[in-house]
């Protein structure tokens, strides 16, 4: 770890804290200052998907939501196994929150970790790369924040109560159908309540060659109740959400039966999230308090449907809080606070020979203190600097590795500087560190691999340089980055004749070098952009490959394009395009390259009768291209086969909704 950037960040943070105090002591007026605004738009790789984009794409899963964003790939084929890769690293490295509730659980390395239902998403915000101290604990490769809609987002200005009914369908293979019902209302002045329910039934899909891909069918259900209050200086949200996803797949749901011995299994995943967010903003420059308290429980069960025996199961729950305040001075914003999370795990696996069947109970906790300052020290300069301190501890209470304990602590500084060189051109440089101590690993592997009490926490370093040129609706933005993740924790296999199947160990350093570039133009009712991104990921000097589950994989240089046309307030038309260049597959010397592919989506959305009626149509993968997404497990050296599922072929989608 570099010493100089840490010293700079510590010194800068201390200086920023002293300056406003000394100004106040001198009697300088610090009561009429506005919030500092950064002129430049978000650089490529850092995006904010809003509700209009979700509605236009008629998103049914993570791939629909994220695949056309810079720096992101979504692989897996089937919905249950879709994994998100940011700059080539798997989402296990991200700090993911839903309405402020952290989602730390990784249940099973063969399936998705991030469970999100798109229908009532208000926004998805991604900050790629280790960054601000406010990103939360363990944000090695960045933070993704999901916010859901509330009653006031749904009500029209003249309404006190309303309802939404919506039906959608995707026509491909055995097709998929979704039904949505929501009721919402104003209980009193400033108090709103919304209840929603979503049911989606998806059949096996067809690939670009017209072949049926099975087993990929799923049954997805989601319910949420959200109470929102807006009262003068106080505002709050209380949300309770339940997701349930079931289906029949092979024991490894992202793989075909390539060995001829995999059994069909009944899979079930659930997530329950309760979060309370409160803000107190009395209009004072010194006080703007935000508090979040949350409970999150994720659970999976994989049961062989021929015998009824459990293959693997696990339940991970988390309870936590985040308390922060923002103080503002003439040219400075300072956010400071604390956060805490306690995780618990109860997991079982019976996938190995019976002698190695196991279970485990573990608990972990992380406590952090943080501060982040933005200082406009000159008209053309913005300095951002911050510092986190996190303390982690993990205890194995029973089962595999019982009695083991790990703990670690570390400071994580960050420093960035933005220079508004002209009215239209800005330059930015940033350095940041992030720390993820020893916490609960994947549930399935935790019942198989033992802790020995000798682990070091993982440490991420991120360096970025970027620019943004914006004038008269035209923009050209770019970022180059380099990141390392030291002391990566992975499972080490031992196996027979040892009585131990394996153990957790620090196994090496992962790194990525890459860039992102985007150019676009916005007119009154038409906008377009074209972007390209590439990440060169490696682990201890070798390229990442599909077998690096939980870490990342190799993804070819990716080009993205989008065109939006809004000729009126009623209509919105869009084109989304993605071209991924071929990439060498280093999983084995004989592995063929991951092939190039192109995906083109056509989208249209109409809002009629004062937004009461919504109609949407679209064609996904218009060219009916047969391909394997580079985020999908592809070639298996032992069998010489592509064992992941190919991507869906051409799909026609249609949606109709009515607001009462």
pLDDT tens string 40-66: 346 776 888 888 999 999 988 888 889
Contact 424, 383 (CB under 8 A): no
| Average pLDDT of the residues in 20-34 | 34
Which tokens hold the place of 613? Answer: 């009626």
CA angle 100, 102, 107 (to 5 degrees): 150
CA distance 180 to 175: 17
- For residue 25, how many other CB atoms are within 10 A of its CB? 8
Backbone angles phi, psi at 316, to 5 degrees: -120, 125
CA distance 468 to 457: 35
Mean pLDDT is lowest, of 61-65, 152-156, 185-189, 377-381, for 61-65
Q: What is the pLDDT of residues 486-497, one digit of tens each?
A: 999 999 999 999
To which H or E segment does residue 180 belong?
strand 176-188
Question: Do β-strands 95-98 and 142-148 pair in parallel, antiparallel, or remain unpaired?
Answer: parallel
Q: What is the pLDDT of residues 346-363, one digit of tens each?
A: 999 999 999 999 999 999
| Average pLDDT of the residues in 407-430 | 96
Contact 352, 436 (CB under 8 A): no
pLDDT score recorded for residue 342: 98
Q: SS3 for 232-291, per residue?
A: CCEEEEEEEEEEEEEEEEECCCCECCCCCCCCEEEEEEEEEEEEEEEEECCCCCCCCEEE
pLDDT score recorded for residue 12: 37
pLDDT-derived band at 36, boundaries 50, 70, 90? very low
pLDDT score recorded for residue 21: 33
Contacts of 3 (CB under 8 A, 6+ apart): none
| Average pLDDT of the residues in 601-605 | 97
Indicate if the pLDDT at residue 26 is higher than 70.
no
Helix (H, G, I), strand (E, B) or coil at 429: strand
Which residues, in sequence order, are bridge partners of residue 293?
A: 276, 321
pLDDT score recorded for residue 3: 34
Q: What is the pLDDT of residues 277-297, one digit of tens each?
A: 999 999 999 999 999 999 999
Q: What is the pLDDT of residues 376-409, one digit of tens each?
A: 999 999 999 999 999 999 999 999 999 999 999 9
CA distance 367 to 559: 40
User: Percent helix, strand and coil across the chain, each rounded to 5?
Assistant: 10, 55, 35
pLDDT score recorded for residue 45: 66
| Average pLDDT of the residues in 306-335 | 96
Helix (H, G, I), strand (E, B) or coil at 430: strand
Which tokens hold the place of 272? Answer: 């329950």
Helix (H, G, I), strand (E, B) or coil at 190: coil
Full set of structural domains in the chain with CATH: 3-153+230-659 (2.40.170.20)
- Where does 305-357 show beta strands of DSSP type E? 310-328, 332-349
Q: What is the mean pLDDT of the chain?
A: 91
Q: Report H helices in 351-491.
A: 443-446
Name the DSSP letter for residue 449: S
To which H or E segment does residue 20 belong?
helix 3-25
| Average pLDDT of the residues in 463-486 | 96
Indicate if the pLDDT at residue 340 is higher than 80.
yes
Which residues, in sequence order, are bridge partners of residue 464?
A: 430, 481
Pick from 456, 342, 327, 332: nearest CA to 382: 332
pTM comes to 0.90
Helix (H, G, I), strand (E, B) or coil at 611: coil
Which residues, in sequence order, are bridge partners of residue 622?
A: none
Contact 464, 481 (CB under 8 A): yes
Indicate if the pLDDT at residue 33 is higher than 70.
no
To which H or E segment does residue 74 belong?
strand 72-75
Percent of the chain topping pLDDT 70? 93
| Average pLDDT of the residues in 221-244 | 97
| Average pLDDT of the residues in 151-166 | 95
pLDDT score recorded for residue 48: 85
Q: What is the pLDDT of residues 630-641, one digit of tens each?
A: 999 989 998 899
pLDDT score recorded for residue 7: 38
């Amino acid at each position: 770890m570099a010493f100089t950037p840490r010293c700079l960040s510590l010194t800068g943070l201390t200086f920023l804290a002293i300056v406003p105090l000394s100004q106040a002591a001198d009697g300088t007026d610090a009561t009429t200052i506005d919030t500092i605004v950064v002129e430049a738009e978000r650089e490529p790789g850092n995006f904010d998907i809003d509700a209009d984009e979700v509605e236009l794409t008629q998103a049914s899963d993570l791939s629909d939501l994220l695949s056309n964003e810079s720096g992101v790939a979504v692989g897996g084929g089937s919905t249950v196994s879709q994994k998100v890769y940011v700059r080539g690293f798997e989402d296990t490295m991200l700090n993911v929150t839903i309405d402020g509730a952290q989602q730390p659980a990784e249940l099973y390395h063969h399936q998705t970790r991030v469970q999100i239902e798109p229908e009532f998403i208000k926004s998805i915000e991604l900050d790629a790369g280790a960054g601000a101290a406010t990103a939360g604990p363990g944000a090695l490769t960045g933070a993704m924040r999901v916010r859901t809609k509330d009653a006031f987002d749904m009500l029209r200005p003249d309404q006190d109560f309303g309802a939404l009914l919506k039906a959608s369908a995707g026509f491909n293979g055995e097709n998929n159908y979704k039904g949505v019902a929501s009721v919402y209302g104003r209980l009193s002045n400033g108090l709103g309540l919304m209840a929603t329910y979503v049911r989606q039934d998806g059949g096996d899909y067809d690939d670009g060659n017209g072949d049926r891909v099975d087993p990929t069918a799923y049954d997805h259900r989601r319910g949420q109740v959200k109470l929102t209050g807006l009262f003068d200086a106080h505002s709050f949200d209380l949300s309770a959400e339940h997701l349930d996803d079931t289906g029949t797949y092979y024991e490894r749901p992202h793989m075909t039966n390539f060995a001829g011995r995999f059994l069909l299994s009944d899979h079930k995943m659930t997530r329950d999230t309760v979060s309370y967010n409160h803000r107190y903003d009395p209009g004072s420059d010194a006080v703007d308090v935000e508090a979040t308290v949350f409970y999150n429980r994720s659970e999976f069960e994989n049961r062989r449907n021929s015998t009824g025996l459990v293959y693997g199961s696990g339940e991970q729950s988390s309870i936590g809080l985040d308390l922060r305040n923002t103080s503002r001075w003439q040219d400075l914003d300072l956010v400071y606070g604390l956060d805490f999370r306690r995780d618990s795990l109860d997991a079982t696996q019976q996938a190995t020979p019976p002698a190695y069947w196991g279970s485990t109970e573990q608990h972990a906790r992380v406590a952090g203190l943080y501060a982040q300052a933005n200082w406009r020290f000159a008209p053309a300069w913005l300095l951002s600097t911050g510092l986190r301190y996190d303390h982690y501890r993990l205890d194995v209470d029973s089962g595999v590795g019982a009695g083991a304990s790990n703990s670690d602590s570390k400071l994580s500084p960050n420093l960035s500087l933005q220079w508004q060189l002209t009215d239209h051109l800005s330059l930015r440089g940033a350095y940041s560190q992030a720390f993820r101590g020893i916490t609960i690993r994947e549930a399935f592997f935790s019942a198989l691999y033992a802790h020995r009490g000798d682990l070091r926490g993982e440490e991420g370093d991120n360096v970025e340089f970027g620019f943004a040129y914006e004038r008269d609706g035209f923009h050209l933005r770019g970022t180059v980055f380099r990141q390392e993740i030291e002391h990566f924790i992975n499972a080490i296999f031992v196996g027979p004749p040892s009585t131990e199947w394996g153990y957790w160990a620090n196994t090496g350093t992962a790194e990525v070098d890459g860039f992102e570039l985007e150019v676009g133009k916005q007119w009154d009712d038409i906008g377009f952009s074209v972007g390209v991104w590439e990440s060169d990921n490696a682990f201890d000097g070798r390229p990442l490959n599909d077998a690096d589950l939980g870490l990342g994989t190799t993804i070819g240089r990716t080009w993205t394009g989008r065109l939006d046309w809004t000729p009126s307030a009623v209509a919105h038309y869009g084109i989304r395009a993605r071209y991924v260049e071929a990439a060498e597959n280093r999983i084995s010397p004989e592995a063929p390259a991951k092939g190039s592919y192109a995906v083109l989506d056509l989208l249209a959305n109409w809002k009629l009768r004062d937004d009461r009626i919504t109609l949407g149509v679209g064609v996904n993968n218009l060219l009916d291209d047969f391909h394997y997404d580079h985020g999908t497990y592809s070639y298996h050296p032992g069998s010489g086969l592509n064992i992941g599922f190919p991507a869906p072929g051409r799909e026609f989608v249609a949606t109709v909704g009515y607001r009462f």
